[in-house]
């Protein structure tokens, strides 16, 4: 059996791994490379294999760095099944439609900026390609083994990373011999709001494991709700607005859930809260549809509150006109809008209109990449550029951490130790991590594995 690492090898983007046997070619994930525009476009445009030669895709979850290049694969000839959980299928279709729309808008914008003789920049795929991909989704339940012919068996376990995320467990026959493989996808954390804890495995011969935070311990989740309460209480007293840039998938739903808990506890200040993101609103509908897949706390809440994503003080903004009207609103209110790093979306308009008021608060909820507006706010730059104009940062900037959906050192320790107790772990390949994170995780798990962990390079292949 041959495994080729065609993305998320030595980096944290573009998850894509190819498994080849004497009779099958199976792709684990087909994610977008994200980074510098030209480099990413070249990587995303090209496949290391004929797309129509792939028998099936096993999809771990609906983040764009794991599913985002499926429509390109479809446009180049792939027509096989895409196996995933039901929630992942629902999320991926929404995320891919949004990606196709953004690509089309970017292509039009660049066409106006490029010199006459420059070749046009084409979108990677269209909304029609997304429609084609959506028809290929095969929805599978967690925990059940599914026989895909006489040489492949597939089972999903809950990865606890985002709604619908899966650890992919495979039994594949190669040259008359059954092999047991596991792909973690993105492994989640314990005790995150909404999500069930990641499940462990019972050993395997080959494990492809993420390593994003193999060298880091996250802050505790438990303090976030109390910190949000303090911020909203102060805003209510000084009649300031609270601007929360948040990723549409996962982070926005977690924030709403915490605010809903505060409302149910009668601790939420009487302050209007607006979710100003059409993408977030569509994704909330998916979360509402899959409430039965969430953790025990959600199930307990629903005995008294049937909707963890709706309460009297919360409104979902749909139209552009409603969004613009918020910037003219007086008094205290909260607006949650994309994107999480403040690089695009409606949040930039809210920042432009609220950043120079000392009564306002900007709440950053997660990692802010270098050279983003979010990073400049995080490092307290006195002036920041929004829409080609500089604004003084007079608003208070608060960083809340602890909601990362990726396993950290403590989670990896627990997961590998528990899995190794139930069965031997053979050859481990560490992907989806920067080199220093992968190397740290290799040292951490060495005693739990039969063989020395391997950190593959981009496009490197191994016979196993």
Residues 215, 444: Cα–Cα separation, whole Å: 9
Cα→Cα distances 171→5, 6, 398, Å: 19, 21, 47
| Residue 378: per-residue pLDDT | 94
Average pLDDT for 257-276: 97
Q: Are residues 357 and 252 in the same domain?
A: yes
| Residue 107: per-residue pLDDT | 83
353 closest CA partner among 330, 321, 369, 382: 330
Q: Are residues 329 and 446 in the same domain?
A: no
pLDDT over 80 at 365, yes or no: yes
pLDDT over 70 at 181, yes or no: yes
Residues 268, 136: Cα–Cα separation, whole Å: 44
Q: Are residues 210 and 229 in the same domain?
A: no
**Could you tell me the residue range of the domain that residue 341 belongs to?**
224-399
pLDDT over 90 at 123, yes or no: yes
| Residue 241: per-residue pLDDT | 98
Average pLDDT for 226-240: 97
| Residue 92: per-residue pLDDT | 98
Q: Are residues 234 and 211 in the same domain?
A: no
Q: What is the DSSP letter of 447?
A: G
Contact 194/163 with Cβ under 8 angstroms? yes
| Residue 312: per-residue pLDDT | 97
Q: Which two tokens stand for residue 357?
A: 């008021």
What is the reported pTM?
A: 0.94
121 band by pLDDT with thresholds 50, 70 and 90? confident
pLDDT over 90 at 223, yes or no: no
Contact 84/136 with Cβ under 8 angstroms? no
| Residue 119: per-residue pLDDT | 64
Render 295-325 in DSSP notation, one character per residue. Answer: -HHHHHHTTT-S-TT--TTEEE--SHHHHHH
Q: Are residues 283 and 412 in the same domain?
A: no
Average pLDDT for 275-291: 97
- The least confident of 33-37, 39-43, 140-144, 324-328 is 33-37
State the chain's mean pLDDT as an integer: 95
- The least confident of 53-57, 149-153, 220-224, 397-401 is 220-224
198 band by pLDDT with thresholds 50, 70 and 90? very high
DSSP bridge partners of 384: 391
367 band by pLDDT with thresholds 50, 70 and 90? confident
Residue 122's CATH number: 3.60.15.10
Q: Are residues 122 and 239 in the same domain?
A: no
Cβ-Cβ contacts under 8 Å for 219 (sequence gap 6 or more): 401, 402
Q: Are residues 161 and 32 in the same domain?
A: yes
Residues 228, 267: Cα–Cα separation, whole Å: 11
pLDDT digits (tens, 9 = 90+) for 52-94: 999 999 999 999 999 999 999 999 999 999 999 999 999 999 9
Residues 253, 249: Cα–Cα separation, whole Å: 7
pLDDT over 90 at 370, yes or no: no
| Residue 120: per-residue pLDDT | 66
pLDDT digits (tens, 9 = 90+) for 136-176: 999 999 999 999 999 999 999 999 999 999 999 999 999 99
| Residue 339: per-residue pLDDT | 87
Average pLDDT for 418-445: 97
Q: Are residues 238 and 369 in the same domain?
A: yes
Q: Are residues 251 and 344 in the same domain?
A: yes
Contact 280/336 with Cβ under 8 angstroms? yes
| Residue 106: per-residue pLDDT | 83
Residue 327's CATH number: 3.40.50.10890
Looking at the structure of the chain, the number of domains it has is 2
Q: Are residues 59 and 161 in the same domain?
A: yes
| Residue 366: per-residue pLDDT | 81
27 closest CA partner among 91, 94, 78, 102: 78
Q: Are residues 192 and 319 in the same domain?
A: no
| Residue 118: per-residue pLDDT | 61
Average pLDDT for 343-367: 94
pLDDT over 80 at 222, yes or no: no
125 band by pLDDT with thresholds 50, 70 and 90? very high
Q: Are residues 395 and 416 in the same domain?
A: no
């Amino acid at each position: 059996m041959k495994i080729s690492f065609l993305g998320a090898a030595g980096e944290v983007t573009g998850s894509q791994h190819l498994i080849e046997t004497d009779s099958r070619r199976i792709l684990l994930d087909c994610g977008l490379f994200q980074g510098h525009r030209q480099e990413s476009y070249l990587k995303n445009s090209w496949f290391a294999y004929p797309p129509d030669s792939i028998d099936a895709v096993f999809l771990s979850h609906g983040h764009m760095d794991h599913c985002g290049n499926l429509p390109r694969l479809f446009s180049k000839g792939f027509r096989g099944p895409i196996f995933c959980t039901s929630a992942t299928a629902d999320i991926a279709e929404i995320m891919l439609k949004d990606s196709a729309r953004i690509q089309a808008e970017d292509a039009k914008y660049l066409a106006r900026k490029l010199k006459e003789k420059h070749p046009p920049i084409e979108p990677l795929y269209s909304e029609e390609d997304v429609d084609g991909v959506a028809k290929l989704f095969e929805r599978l339940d967690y925990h059940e083994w599914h026989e895909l012919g006489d040489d492949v068996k597939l089972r999903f376990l809950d990865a606890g990373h985002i709604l619908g995320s899966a650890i992919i467990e495979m039994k594949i026959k190669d040259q008359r011999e059954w092999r047991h493989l596991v792909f973690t996808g993105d492994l989640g954390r314990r005790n995150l709001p909404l999500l069930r804890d990641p499940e462990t495995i019972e050993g395997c011969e080959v494990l492809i494991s993420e390593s994003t935070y193999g060298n880091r311990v996250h802050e505790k989740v438990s303090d976030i709700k109390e910190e949000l309460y303090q911020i909203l209480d102060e805003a209510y007293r000084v009649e300031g607005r609270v601007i929360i840039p948040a990723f549409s998938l996962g982070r926005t739903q977690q924030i709403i859930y915490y605010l809903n808990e505060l409302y149910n506890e009668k601790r939420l200040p009487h302050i209007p809260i607006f979710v100003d993101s059409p993408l977030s609103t569509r994704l909330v509908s998916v979360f509402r549809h899959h409430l039965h897949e969430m953790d025990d706390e959600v199930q307990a809440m629903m005995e008294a509150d049937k909707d963890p994503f709706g309460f009297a003080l919360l409104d979902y903004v749909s139209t552009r006109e409603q969004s613009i009207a918020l910037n003219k609103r007086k008094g205290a209110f909260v607006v949650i809008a994309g994107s999480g790093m403040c690089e695009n979306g409606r949040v930039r308009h809210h920042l432009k209109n609220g950043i120079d008021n000392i009564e306002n608060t900007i709440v950053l909820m997660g990692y802010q990449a270098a050279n983003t507006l979010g990073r400049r706010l995080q490092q307290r730059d006195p002036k920041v550029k929004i829409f080609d104009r500089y604004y003084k940062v007079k608003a208070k900037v608060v960083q809340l951490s602890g909601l990362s959906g990726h396993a950290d050192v403590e989670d990896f320790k627990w997961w590998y130790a528990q899995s190794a107790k139930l069965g031997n772990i053979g050859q481990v390949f560490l992907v989806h991590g920067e080199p220093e994170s992968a190397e740290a995780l290799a040292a951490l798990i060495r005693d739990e594995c039969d063989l020395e962990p391997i950190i593959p390079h981009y496009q490197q292949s191994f016979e196993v």
